[in-house]
Structure 1
Amino acid sequence: MWRRAATAAAAASGALSRRSWRLAQCRAFSSAAAGKAASVSSAVNSMLLRSLKEHYLEVSKMTPPPKVNPPSPFTVVKGSIDNDGPVLTRTYNDEEISIYVTRLATILPGGVVGEDDGNDDDINQLFLHVSVLKPQHNDSLHFLCGLYPDALGIHSVSMRPKAEASGFVVGPSKYNGPVFEELDQKVRDALHGYIEERGINENLFPFLQAWLYVKDHRNLIRYFKSVGSFISEEKPRKESSQS
């Protein structure tokens, strides 16, 4: 009887030892796998941070264009370089004229225009959103124009709700009017004369092109810095639980 009890105890002890060994082996394997994954993740992060730093330094060395002042009587809206609001403003009689600007590549889908074919349309064509506001009206007269170094063309004319001071031009909420090219030639000529009388012409191009260059440069610098900071930020250590 004692022999059978001793044999059973020995068998149980052996099974327990084998189970403990397997658990220890699994823990060691899991620890090694976690360490390997952490090592791979660290290597990827390091490579990405090096690439971001190289691009950051490259962008930092870019030479900005010569400073260009906007044509009188337009003035630059304070803080416009860091937001998507109006860039230039002026008053004309009782009207407030605001100008927003974007690049051709921002308007059209499919990436940067002319990237592979040598076409410089993305640089030499800008889109202007011209908003004409009158204090007694709830709507503004909105012109979408294409601006070139030597010309300005109107794409559309519509009535739109007044945009808030800190925001971009809001979209039309009512009938947007006929296609501009389908308007009578006399009406088109008169609309061109209307905005030209308010100083909307090709003379705006040098300033707005330089302004967009500075804005793009700042955005790139900010982008590389923010992405790099996010990647390099260490995970907070978990506090050990007290038993």
Structure 2
Amino acid sequence: MVRTTQLFRKARKTFQDLRLLQILQSEIAHELSSTPCQNYENNGSSSHFTVEHDSLKSQDVVLRRKMDSGEEVVISALLGPLRFGYDGAFPREILMKICVSKPGVSSLLQFDCGVSEDGHGGSPFKLYNAYYLRSSDCLGPSVYRGPSFSSLDPRLQDALKEYLISRGVEESLTNFLLIHLHKKEQGQYLNWLKNVEYSIAKRESNEL
């Protein structure tokens, strides 16, 4: 009776693993055939910026640009929360932190921005916050960063956005980030699915 129970448990586990393998393989096939960015393939470029960090194990990407004047622009970008019910090509907004510094000056400007498709094939960025920081040591959350961006004069808000555009934060760059980070997430998800599939298949072969 004990032996029968053990065989039954093993058979049930084998069936569950095979079912899980089928689900994983179906999901992998779906992801491989899914190309949500296909209509946006050639619409973006990071030509003005150098990719400084883009690890396969991390969620973010860091870009840097050094202007002829010596001024540096550093962008850190990653995907924001999933927007449930959204039926566009890109289900997540891009969240960007942009820091602008001048040579020989410890102070810097920091901007918090968001990027999402506008429904017309574009991806203009939205400026959420702008800060003047006395040094890079003042990036902590406890430091007072001035009034809220929405309370600033609308003309100043527009001028700050134009300031970033003049430093290369234009639509070709935001298109690049929107496509690149969604593709990166899809690639990481595919790798995870394949690793799980391999582990289960290997375990099943060892138990035969």
TM-score range, shorter chain: 0.7 to 0.9
Q: What secondary structure, in the 3-state scheme, does the structure 2 residue paired with 1:99 have?
A: strand
Q: 1:214 aligns to what?
A: 183
How do residues 11-26 of structure 1 correspond to structure 2 at under 5 angstroms? Answer: none
Matched residue of 1:178: which SS?
coil
AA matched with 2:50: T
Report the AA paired with residue 95 of structure 1: E
State the shift of 1:61 in Å: 3.1
Q: Distance in 2 between matches of 1:229 and 1:137?
A: 53
**What residue number does 2:125 align with?**
152
Partner of 1:55: 27
Q: Which has the higher helix share?
A: 1
Task: Tell me which amino acid in the other structure corresponds to 1:145.
Answer: C
| Cα deviation digits, residues 107-150 of structure 1 (max 9, x gap) | 3xxx43334xx4x3954853322122456566753211123525
Give the letter for the 2:45 counterpart.
P
> Take 1:82 and 1:56, find their aligned partners in 2: how far apart are those partners?
19
Equivalent of 1:143 in 111, 115, 136 = 111
Unaligned runs of 5+ in 2: 117-121
Normalized per residue, the structure richer in strand is: 2
- Match for 2:76 among 100, 105, 119? 100
Structure 1: gaps of 5 or more residues: 1-28, 164-169, 238-243
Q: Distance in 1 between matches of 2:202 and 2:106?
A: 48
Aligned to 1:83: 58
Query: Is residue 74 of structure 1 aligned with residue 43 of structure 2?
Result: no
Secondary structure (helix, strand or coil) at the match of 2:115 reads strand
Q: Sort the Cα spacing of 1:78 and 1:114 in 2 relative to 1 into closer, same or farther, 3 A.
A: same
Identity of aligned residues (%): 25
Q: Are positions 1:113 and 2:84 aligned together?
A: yes
* Mapped partners of 1:38, 1:156: distance in 2: 58
Note if contact 1:101-1:127 (Cα within 8 Å) is conserved in structure 2: yes
CA distance in 2, matches of 1:139, 1:90: 17
1:142, 1:157 within 8 Å by CA — same for their partners in 2? yes
1:228 is the counterpart of 2:203? no
Larger RCO, structure (CA 8 Å, separation 6 or more): 2
Alignment correspondent of 2:172: 203
**Which position in structure 2 is the counterpart of 1:174?**
143
- Which residue, out of 11, 14, 18, partners 1:46? 18
Cα displacement string for residues 8-33 of structure 1 (whole angstroms, at most 9, x for unaligned residues): xxxxxxxxxxxxxxxxxxxxx33322
TM-score by length of 2: 0.73
- 1:122 & 1:161 partners in 2: Cα distance? 35
Please report the TM-score for the alignment, with normalisation by the length of structure 1.
0.64
Show the counterpart of 1:6.
Answer: none
State the superposition RMSD in angstroms: 3.4
